[in-house]
Structures are given as structure tokens and as C-alpha cells.
Structure 1
Amino acid sequence: MTSVVPARTSLESTFPAAMLSEVGTQESWRKEVHRPATSTHKWWAKRLGTVFRGILTSATTPDEADAAVSYGSPFDLAGAVVLDPFSGSGVTGVEALKLGAKAVCFDINPVATLVQRQAVQPWDREALEAAYRAVELACRAEVDRLHRTEDGRTVLYYFWVATVECPECSDVVRLFDSPVFSKNAYPKRVPKAQIVCPECLAVQESRYDFDTEKCPNGHLITQRGAVQRQSTTCRQGHSFKTLGALNGARPGYEMYAKMVANSDKSKSYESITDWDRKLYDECVKILASLPESAVLPRGELASGNNTDQALKWNFREWRDFFNARQLVSLSLIATAIRDLGGSAPEREALCALFSGTLEFNNLFTSFKGEGTGAVRHMFSNHILKPERTPLEAHPWGTSQSSGAFSTLYKSRLHRAHEYKMKPVDLIVHEKGIERFTGLSKPLGASICESWDSFALAKGQAAYVVTRNSAETDIPDGSVDLIVTDPPYMDNVHYAELADFFHAWLQRMQPYAGYSDEETTRRSGEVQHADPVEFGKAIEAVWAECARVLKPGGLLAFTFHQARISGWVQVVESLRRAGWVMTAVQPVKGEMATSIVKSGAREPSNLDSVVVCRRAADGARNPNRSMEEALATAAKELTGLRDAGIDVGAGDVRSVVRGSLLAYLASTGADLDESVAMQVDSLATESIATLLG
């Protein structure tokens, strides 16, 4: 059976990159609004649904046709099978299903599989609401009681500070780097701020830029805290390395303030009282008395690129990431969800929702300030970075709080359900970018867990399982199109971070067959800091993709990589697996203003869409020389820049590297260190030429 992919596609020749970058930029600012089906739970490096819709439609549009028209029309891929071997949050699967195709979503990580299942399967709204109310009835009253003031008001947030002992004098030092603990997101416009006295923890109102203040107890407060970068100074003037003072233990933690919801809907900052301390002590006792059957996180951290920082602060077990009140409250919610019983999609959705709530309720979160969402989630840095002044939120929450189970229920599950029933797409129209309904099919796939059941499924179907995509049960020549976003070679190691969620989920068993192993790290993971090992692992997946693809089919994936060794390994692995790169198309990637990207030496705004066909099908790279490959890359990048899309040095470097290496691989050249240096030199020259 032949593929639905034309002999020459728009994806390879007339890809509407500028248009897709424009709508992609709009989506990137609010992914949870524009693509809520894939936003029910955290997953890393989530790609843009608009761009992947464009890849799918362009890959099945002949090169002489207008792919932009295909993108903005009720395009129909009925009968086609689309595979994503690195499915992540399920973006490819969702966009394929919306276009009428059947989707195969594989990922080696079970947390990713849970996210994908939420993205594609239907929920019964009444059943979902009934399950939510049952959980609320079982646990909310007690969770609320543990977040009360003495006069019965609700505490929205508790503010904590880490403490260490001075190695010289044993003085207990509070690790404030500033006494300003709450200020507006736009402080010059709204200078009012809240400050704490580091000596006695009295809370008072001031300005974010105050010079000196006196607390109610007469202590002088200045802008300088005890911590300056990696060093701490005690009250006796002894300076020492903060980490060195831990002596193999976690830091201590002390409550110093709370934000309270008042009866008139106002909020107030108040100091911690003996009542608050006694209530917390009660939580310590409750935690110790919880039954063995209660859901609590289990498992230990293993060394890794994204876990080592937490290990340096002596966080050894996943339960160390939570204080006693958080563990008690979260356990009450998790146990109530688990005890709903059965394997209904609605119970599964609440398991995923609870897991997502963990991101905002742990010792690694912090306060963002006034005028914005209050909780800075723990993965804003893509690593497990301990906070010296963590924020403890009310995990069930109220209408005045953020990052809570009840608020995320509405913003995530309700929004995702509405989107599945009536998908919305971003389209460039006469008046600019507008949201359109009616272009995509509703999402409500039956989930299959084997190829045999998938092949027999009627109607909308998705084959969603946790597995190594180098070893599948898909018969030869069964897939029309493969569209994916492979993991980074380095930087963000998904399994190391996903274990934070898995530590709870393994006890909850969101669906039958969910992994009960203590870690999501698996043999066969593609991510590896060693370029050679990365190349071997991803080659095995590319080889399996070549086996299951129909004759004339196509592989397309998005990629960007700061290290040229990553590009070399991807290109070499493709060649060894029998693929030829037929195009490298730059297009809008993730949101360009993230904390992680803003800290990069050459932050990237664009992804490269790498388009491949099998050598066995007679594929050829279209460029006939290095100069032509370089000119092709320059033309694509210039087209985006001239259309007003932000193109930076990192984007030029990545796209030029990909284009040149693709051509060289097609000639059989050995992509050794000298070739890599030559490619890098040409990429640097291109930066100067294109960006001036």
C-alpha cells in the first residue's frame, strides 16, 4: 500500500514558514489557551500545535499547491496513519486526529503517556464533575482546616525561609538575600512592597527600593540579606559557603509570613503567630500517623544532569521536596482520587490533574509577586533548583489562589474538555490572526494498547502506549507519515524530572498498566550527554521508523541543538538508518522569553523542521553543492526575517549547520571533526552576513 504523501511535498519546497511562525508566535504566549488538550499537565519542550498542523498539512500537500490554504481549510487525512515515536505531550497525535488521521503515540516515559491519554481521549463532563465532587467531599474540609488562621480566615500562602548553622559560632542564619519578599511585577509603576525583619520576622509594608527601615521591634532593616550568591554571613560577621554549612543534611525551614484571604475579598500579609506554629506541629504529628495505605511519594533521587543540584542540597528522597503540611494535604487529595476506584477516563483525568498540582505545591516553588500569578512553579529553570525562600500554597485552593487543585480543575480540565468538543485553530485572516472553529474534527479517540486492536478500531482511534520506539509491534510498511520532536541530546533530561510526578502516580495507578517501578528512567532512552551514545540510541529509533513506513512515506521532525556534535549525531544516525534529508525548514519554536532561553548564550527562537525520505525509495538531497546548500538556508532564514519573524544568531547557526550537514551526508562525506569545524565556520560567517 502506498502512502498518502505526494512524491514532492510543500513541506520540502514551498513550506509556509512565515505564516506558521506568525500564528505560532501567537500560540506560544498562551499555549494553555490555544491548545489546552495538550496542556493538562507539565511536559518539557512542548512544541506548537499550529506548527505541527502546518507540518502535517504541508507533508500531504503537493509542492505545486498552496500549503497555507491547506493549513487554513478543513483538511482531511482520513485513512492515514501518523506515528510519533517521541510523543511527549501528544501534540502530533492531537493535530493528526483533528485532521481525521489515526494516531500512534509512543513514548518511553509513563508520565508522558499519561499526558497523551488526557490529550486525546474524551471525558464525560457529568461523570468528571461527580468524581471531582466526591474527592472534594472526602478531603477538602480537612485540607482547609490545616490552612486557617486562629480567627478562621483562609491562609492562601505561607512564606518560608531556609536556615543553616554558621560553622564557626552555630548561629542559625536565615537565608534571605533581601528582606523584600513581595513586590509588584511592575515595581516602578507600583512601588509598594512587603518586607520582613530578618532578626525577628516582623512583617511590614514599605517600598521595593527602600533604603533603611525600622521594624516594630526596633531592629534596623537594610536591603542586604545574609546571602550573597553562594556565600552567607551570620550575625557575628562570619562568612561561609552556604552549601558547605549543610553537613550532609537538608537546610532547616522557618515560616515567617502568610497571605490571608479576608471576608471582604481583600488579602493581607501578616506575621506568623504561635497559632500558626502549633497548627504546623499538628501536621507533623498527622503525617507520622497516616496509615500505610495513604498515598505518599516514594523513591530516591539518582544522580543526573537535572537532579544533581537538589542532591547537593541533600534532597535524597522525593518526599523531601515537601513539608509536613504539604505531604498531609496532598496525601488526602491523592488518596481520595485513588479510592474512586475503577479505570474510568474521568478518574484518570483527576490523577493527572493532581500530578500537575504538585508542580505548584512543593519546597521548590517561590512567590512571583503582586500583579501576576502568585506561584512560580518548580520547573521554571528546567532543573530541580532548591529555593531559599519557598512558598507554601493552599493545595486545594480558593478562587483567590493559583496553582491549586480546584483552580487547575477549571483552567485545565474544563478548558481542555471544551476544546476537545469544539477545537479552535489560529488562522491568519484579513483582520489579523483569528480563532476559528469548524476546521478540525472533535477529539474523542478510543485508546488502543496494541497494533492489532488499533488496526481493527472503527472511528477515531489512537494507539497510545509507553514503549521504546526502537522496538514496536507495527508491521512493515503500515505508517503513512512520521512527525515528531526528538529529545535534546543534553540539557533537559525528561526522566530525571518526570520522576518527581511519578513518585506519587505509581501509588495512584491512574490507569490499568501504569508503571509501578520506582523510576521512569529506562534502558533505551535517547537522551544522553555522550554524543556517541545519543547517536546510537536515536539511530535505533530511526531504523524502526524506516521499517514501519510505507513506500513513498516521509519523516519530519523539529530540532535545534546548541552543540554541533548533536547535529552531527542526528545527521549521521539518519544516514546509517537509511534516511536522506530532503529539506531543512526553519520555523517558530518555543516561546522565546522563557527563563531558560533568556539565559542562553545564543537563545533560539526557531526550530528546524528536518524532512527525510528513505534512501531505498530513491530519495536525494536537492542541493548539488555546499554553496547551494548554504544559499538555500540563507533564503529560508531571510524569508522569515523579512516577514518580521525574530531570527537570532543561534537560529542562523543551527539552520545552517543542519543544511550543510544534510548535503554532506548525502555525498557520503565523513562528518569528522574537521568537517564540523568547517561547517561551524560557515555558520559563523552566515550570522555576520544575515544579521549584519
Structure 2
Amino acid sequence: MRHLDAEEVSARVRREVRNREVHLPPVSTYRWWARRTEAVNGSIIDAVSADKPGRMVVSDPFAGGGVIPLAAVMRGHSVYAQDLNPWAAAGLASMLALPDPEALRDGIAALTQRVLASAQAAYGTVLSDGTPGFVTHTFRVAVAPCTHCGARQRMFPHALVTLTSRVERKLPEAFLACPNGHLFKGRRDQIASCPTCDRVTDPDQVYTPRRVVTCQCGEQDRLEARASASSLEWEVVLVERAGGGRRELALPTAGEKTAATALQAQPRMSLGTIPAGQETAVLRRHGFSRWEDLYPRRQRAMVERLLELAAGCSTDEKVVAALRLAIIGSTEMAGHLSRWDRYYLKSYESMAGHRFNFTTLPVEPNVWGTTTSGRGTTLRRLVQLVKAAEWLRKHTGGQLKVQGPLHAGAATVSALLGEDIDGRPLERPDVLVVAGSSQRQLLPSGSVDLVLTDPPYHDDVQYAELSQPLQAWAGLAAPESGSDAVVNRATGQLVADGSYTALLASIFRESARLLREDGHLIFSYANRDPQAWVQLLEALQSAGLRAAGCTVVHSENETDHAKRNVRACTLDLLLDLVPVSSREVVKHRPELGAGAEQEFLAIVANYVLSVGELASGWQLEFLDSVSNAEFLKPQKRRHSGLSTPPAGEGSAPAG
């Protein structure tokens, strides 16, 4: 830690988090949540390298989004990367093994040529001025009868459905929905009368506050009550078209409505039942019982068609794997869940903000996409794949040799670095990827220089649940139940006293086994829950580790809407640990500035630096010391006025 300039690292983090895909293009290869930055992890690797020159073996037992393996390979080190989640392991292996950019371009060209007829049939249209184009987004509103009077009701969430141009253009034209559910053109800054029923329509009105809808008869229903009483129907009410270099929002034509229903399509894939869970609960409450329920018929059929076509686009397995990854990645934009940003005219992924998002006005994307519109579409993802492949070639010096994913139950492998009896380097992969619980890791003892990781933050992100639709499309089996190092109160996973601590301790103990005598285990952590810190420090001490130092760095983009005006974690505590031994360690202590979060972390750091020597009863002492910390006190959001989008709109959700 003494080699790490926390202030300089924090400045780099602030630049990186504002546009991660520009700074680190490979992260766009597959969807993951709560990725940390290359700025932090790369700086840690550089700091360790200052004392250990030459090629190192870097291990990450919670590899997840792959930033740590990326940071290591771009510095020429060997990597052992393991994750319980099969989607993470498969995505990581495909990302690091991206084929030659030219081979990838050839595969994309072949797929483009083969899919055009299907895309035209599914999305082909004509713009209002006669220009040929494609439907890029299809808006559907949830429809269900009132539980009292039985009247069917279009349940728009807001009177202001969408602006017709991005908010920064300061134009007032918009599509409005009246209280009776009729859609018409109006202005965002004027109350209007509905041309169909003459109902007064206030653009500021919210129709489903706290997921409660009011019928004309006066009855108020929770949305989930309507969904359980009578399955929600989804009515096409608006489309976005693109063609000739421009975009337009319009009421759908009869032909566009017919195409959207895709009655002739016969999707075949069964994606499985949506299980009970902490994040899946919102889906099940609103009538979704199977993963395929999240997707309109046309979207399912188009994804299946693309996967079928991709298989024949190249004889190179890596090219086909990359094409499949882009196609499957597009399914995060589920047409019955994805939310529309009515101010900035773009859709958000179904799991934005680390949650499944239910809305009564979801948008179905054009799965293939166009050059002018379509965030998260296959075409956009393929473009990003080429950029990622080019970036990897530039920063790693050529094609990486990637092995895996192996299963964690496989036989122990040889060390990733070593020499034969003649002193020649052994033939080993640059990266070994393993899928399965890191309670068992496949490398021999004493073969790793640095364990650098980013463990799950207690119960903050339910990775297993959020990744399940992607796993289903990829045909990957769900991980073993109860092995995920994340507390899930809905399923009872790791809620028993000591269970979370015991699981973390077993993983840290196994990770420490891999370390050489002078090795370090370093990771970043952030949490506002004192109990999460207690369980983490208990696990570290139980695993036979002791503190060698810690420091604090900036970690998040505080301008994200989810972090504005609330006490969210924007700093990470970096913990440096070594196995308990007679080895002399000079502990590095962080320098912390003023502020509520810094003051809280200063208390935490004092206990972190005592890991390996924490005395009996320290837990109660710690909880008492942070009980009055300002950072842990709730803070209400400040809401903005009409001149700017309300909180939660107009910017990308966190994560």
C-alpha cells in the first residue's frame, strides 16, 4: 500500500467511471453488476510489482466482471480467475479469448448478410415522410380490469409518456396520456384536454404512484393485485422509427401493430421457471412466472433466429462464441421490463440499478438494431466487440492463451508459472478460468504472488438472480444452491448466524493457501451496514489472515442518479492482508480527509488494521463505535422541478 498514491488513483477513478466502456472496452462484452475500476485494480497490481518485479501470478476468486483479470493481463501477468456464476465464468473466458478483429469482422459481416431478411420482416416500416426504415422501439402499456367494476384500463405510469426530442433541445412537444388512457400529442409545459374524451391532462400527473392505480369508478388497486386477479395484457401504443439518418416517435400503424404481435413466429426455447428470490419477487408478484414471459413473442423469435444464424457464420469457434455473447447480451433489454427514459429517449436494461425493473410502459427493442438507434442491441454489441478485440490486441500484445472455464471439481492443475528441468518456461495458459465455488481452487499451494479480488458486498447485489435470464438464454446451468457468497433473505441463503462468515472464511482460507511466502491478499470493500463489516472481519481473522495495511480510494460516480443527494458509498476501503506467520509486517495506515463517509471509514480502518489480533468482544465495541456515525443516518432525496428530469430519470441507473 505504501507504493499506492490514493489521491492520484482516485482522480483516475473519477475519469474512468464516467465512461467505463471508453476506458476499458472489453467490459462491454458481457453484462455484470457493480464492476470496480481498472484504475484501482491496476494501481494495486503496479504497487505490488514495485516489490516483485517480473511476471506474477494474480488470482481472483470472485472474478465476476473480469476487471481484475483484464488489469493483470494488460500488464503481462498470468491470471487464475474463478467465479461461482457460470455466466460470469463463460463471459470472462470469451472476453479474454476474443478472436482476431479481422476474423470477428468477417463473422459479423456474414451474420449481417444472413439476418437482413428476418430483420426486415420483423421491423421494416416507413417513416412519416415516406423514407424506408425500421421500428427501433415498440412501446406497450399494461392493460387490466379494475377489481371492483371490471372496466379495462390502460395503466400508463405518467401523463407525460415521452418527449419527442431530447430534453436538452428544450422543445415542449410530447406524447401525453389522459387519465382514461388515450394517447395524444401535446406539450410538456401545458395542461391539455384529451382530443378523444376531453379529460383534462396534466403533464405532471403520476398515474401509478407507489404502484397503485385508480379506476374511473374510484377504486384503487395495487398493480400486483390486478396482475394476480387477471393476467396483464400488453397493448402496443407507440413506436420509435429510424431511417434516413433520423428518428421519430409516432402512433403505430396497423401494419406495425400486426408485426409486433408476431403471430406467425414460433419461438421454441423454454427458458425455465422464475424462482422465488429477493429480486425476482417483483416479477412473480406482477404475473411473470417463466423467464420467457419477460419477452414479447417477436423478441424471443428474433433472438432464436440470430443464435441459429450465428452458428454458421464462421468455422472459428471463438468467432461464433463472440457472436453468441453479443446476441444473448441483447436479452437484458427484455421487452416487457425495459424502462424508457422519457427525457433522453433511450431504454434501460431490465436489471438496471441492480434490480429487476417493473414498469407498466415497457419498450421492446429491435433485437438486431440500426446504426442510429438501439441501445443494447445486437448490432451495437457487435461493434463494441470489435473495439474490445482491438483493445486487447493493443494492450496485451497479441492473442491470449485462455483455458476454461474448467469446473471447480476438476483435478488440480500445474502452477501457471515455472520452468522445466532445463530451465525453459513451461507451456501454460495466460489465463485459467474456473467455474464453481472458490471454496476449492485448482492451483497448487504457494503458486500465487497476489490474490486480488472484489468479493460480494454482503446482500447488496443478488448476482445469481440477476444473471438467470442471461444464463437461461446461454443454456448454462444455475450454480449450486447456497454456494453464492451473498446473503438472500428471501430464500434464507446465508441468513443463519455465522453462515456468511463461515463461507467467506473458507474462500479466504483457500485463497491464502495459494499464496507464496511473500504473497498478499488485497481486496476492495464498501458497505453502509456495520454488520457486514463485522462478518467480513470475522471471516478474515478466522481464515488465518492478518492486516498489512489499508487505504481509501474513490470508487463510484457520485453523479449517478441513484447516488445523488443520498448517503451512498462512493469510497472503497482497500484491505491488504497476509497469512499469519512470523513474517514482519509494517502496517500502512490511510490518510483520510473530512466528511461523513471518511469519518465512518476511519473507524472501520482501525479495526481492519487489527485483523489477526482482534480480541474477544471486539464486535460489540465496533458496533458501538459506529452507532452514531453521521454516514449511517438516512438522508432524504431532494427532488428537482419540471425544468429538469425528476430524480431517477435522464441518467443511467447505477451499475
Fold conserved between structures, TM > 0.5: yes
Distance 1:273 1:685 in 2: 53
Match of 2:501 among 535, 544, 561: 535
Cα distance 1:188–1:603, how it changes in 2: closer, same or farther (>3 A)? farther
1:649 equivalenced with 2:596 (yes/no)? yes
Is structure 2 residue 287 aligned with structure 1 residue 314? yes
Q: Of 542, 559, 571, which aligns to 1:606?
A: 571
* Maintained 8 Å contact 1:580/1:614: yes
Q: In the aligned structure 2, how far is the partner of 1:219 from the partner of 1:274? A: 26
Distance 1:479 1:472 in 2: 12
Distance (Å, rounded) in 2 between the aligned partners of 1:405 and 1:244: 33
How far the C-alpha of 1:313 sits from its partner, in A, is 0.9
Contact 1:583 1:612 in 2 (8 A): yes
1:330 maps onto 2:303 in alignment: yes
Q: Is 2:592 aligned against 1:637?
A: yes
Sort the Cα spacing of 1:116 and 1:310 in 2 relative to 1 into closer, same or farther, 3 A.
same
Q: Which residue is 1:468 aligned to?
A: 437
SS in 1 for 2:167: coil
Question: Contact 1:496/1:521 (CA < 8 Å) preserved in 2?
Answer: no
Q: Paired residue for 2:534, among 548, 568, 572?
A: 568
For 1:326 and 1:219, the matched residues in 2 are separated by 35
Moved more, 375-384 or 400-409: 400-409
Partner of 1:592: 558
Partner SS state of residue 616, structure 1: coil
Letter in 1 for 2:9: L
2:63 and 2:83 in contact (8 A); partners too = yes
* CA deviations over 1:113-144 (Å, ceiling 9, x no partner): 12212332241223212222332333331122
Structure 1 residue 270 displacement after superposition: 1.9
Whole-Å Cα distance in 2 between the matches of residues 465 and 300 of structure 1?
27
Alignment partner of 1:189 out of 161, 170, 175: 170
1:136-178 deviations in Å (ceiling 9; x for gaps): 3333311222113377542121111112210111111111132
Per-residue CA deviations over 1:416-461 (Å, capped at 9, x if unaligned) read 12211223xxxxxxxxxxxxxxxxx436320124633845764871
> By how many angstroms is 1:681 displaced?
4.2
Shift of 1:213: 3.4
Q: 1:165 aligns with which of 129, 132, 145?
A: 145
1:213 is aligned to 193
1:447 has 2:420 as partner: no
Paired residues of 1:380 and 1:596 also in contact (CA < 8 A): no
Secondary structure of the equivalent of 1:146?
helix
Q: Does 1:231 align with 2:186?
A: no
Q: Which ranges in structure 1 are unaligned for 5 or more consecutive residues?
A: 1-10, 63-75, 424-440, 507-514, 624-631, 642-647, 688-692
* Change over 3 Å in CA distance of 1:338–1:649 after alignment to 2: farther
Aligned to 1:176: 156
Alignment of 1:56 onto 2:45 = yes
What secondary structure, in the 3-state scheme, does the structure 1 residue paired with 2:44 have? helix
- The alpha-carbon distance between structure 1 residues 454 and 369, as it changes in their structure 2 partners (threshold 3 A), is same
Residue 491 and residue 397 in structure 1: after superposition, are their counterparts in 2 closer, same or farther (change >3 A)? same
Instruction: Output the aligned Cα RMSD.
Output: 2.7
| Offset at residue 341 of structure 1 (A) | 7.6
Out of 9, 16, 25, the residue aligned to residue 14 of structure 2 is 25
Q: 1:45 — aligned with what? A: 34
| CA deviation profile, 1:372-392 (whole Å, cap 9, x unmatched) | 461222222211121110011
Q: Which moved more, 1:555-564 or 1:352-361?
A: 352-361
Q: Aligned residues: percent identity?
A: 21
Instruction: Tell me the equivalent position of 2:79.
Output: 103
Partner residue, 2:410? none
Normalised by the length of structure 2, the TM-score is: 0.86
Q: Is the 8 A contact 1:551 1:617 kept in 2?
A: no
Pick closer, same or farther for the CA change 1:457–1:588 going to 2, 3 Å.
farther
| Between 378-387 and 317-326, the greater mean CA deviation after superposition | 378-387
State the Cα deviation string for residues 212-238 of structure 1 (Å, max 9, x = none): 233267554333354232321112332
**1: distance between equivalents of 2:158 and 2:414?**
61
Question: Which residue, out of 389, 395, 401, partners 2:373?
Answer: 401
Is 1:502 the equivalent of 2:474?
no
Q: Which amino acid aligns with 1:336?
A: L
Name the residue aligned to 1:3.
none
| 1:526 match | 485
Q: Give the Cα–Cα distance (whole angstroms) in 1 for the partners of residues 439 and 229 of structure 2.
A: 41
> For residues 306-359 of structure 1, what are the alpha-carbon distances to aligned partners after superposition, in whole Å with 9 as ceiling and x for unaligned?
211111112111101101111111221122224558662111111111122112
Aligned residue type for 2:162: S
Amino acid at match of 2:12: V
SS for the counterpart of 1:253 is strand
Matched, 1:134 2:134: no
Quote the residue 2:263 is aligned against.
Answer: 284
Q: How many residues align?
A: 606
Equivalent pair of 2:212/2:220 in contact (CA under 8 Å): yes
Q: Which amino acid aligns with 2:625?
A: V
Counterpart selection for 1:674 from 617, 620, 643: 620
Distance change (3 Å), C-alpha of 1:365 and 1:229: same
SS at match of 1:237: coil
CA–CA separation in structure 2 for the residues paired with 1:158 and 1:164: 19
Which residues of structure 2 form unaligned runs of 5+? 407-412, 418-424, 489-494, 634-655
Amino acid at match of 1:145: A
Alpha-carbon spacing, 1:463–1:168, altered in 2? closer, same or farther (3 Å)? same
Question: Which one-letter code corresponds to 1:237 in the other structure?
Answer: G
**Alpha-carbon distance between aligned partners in 1 of 2:461 and 2:379, rounded to the nearest angstrom:** 28
Instruction: Give per-residue Cα distances to partners, 1:65-105, cap 9 Å, x unaligned.
Output: xxxxxxxxxxx954311101111111111111111111111
State the alpha-carbon separation in 2 of the partners of residues 378 and 669 from structure 1: 46
Report how far residue 616 of structure 1 moved: 2.1
Give the deviation of 1:551 after TM superposition.
0.4
Alignment of 1:292-371 (within 5 A): 294=268, 296-340=269-313, 344-369=317-342
SS at match of 2:549: strand
One-letter amino acid of the structure 2 residue matched with residue 552 of structure 1: D
Within the candidate set 535, 547, 551, 1:581 is matched to 547
Map of 1:626 onto structure 2: none
Classify 1:197/1:328 alpha carbon distance in 2 versus 1 (closer, same or farther; 3 Å): farther
1:444–1:460 Cα contact (<8 Å) kept: no
- Give the Cα–Cα distance (whole angstroms) in 2 for the partners of residues 501 and 115 of structure 1: 11
Amino acid across the alignment from 1:208: R
Aligned amino acid, residue 471 of structure 1: R
Match for 1:392 among 344, 348, 364? Answer: 364
SS of 1:567 mapped into structure 2: helix
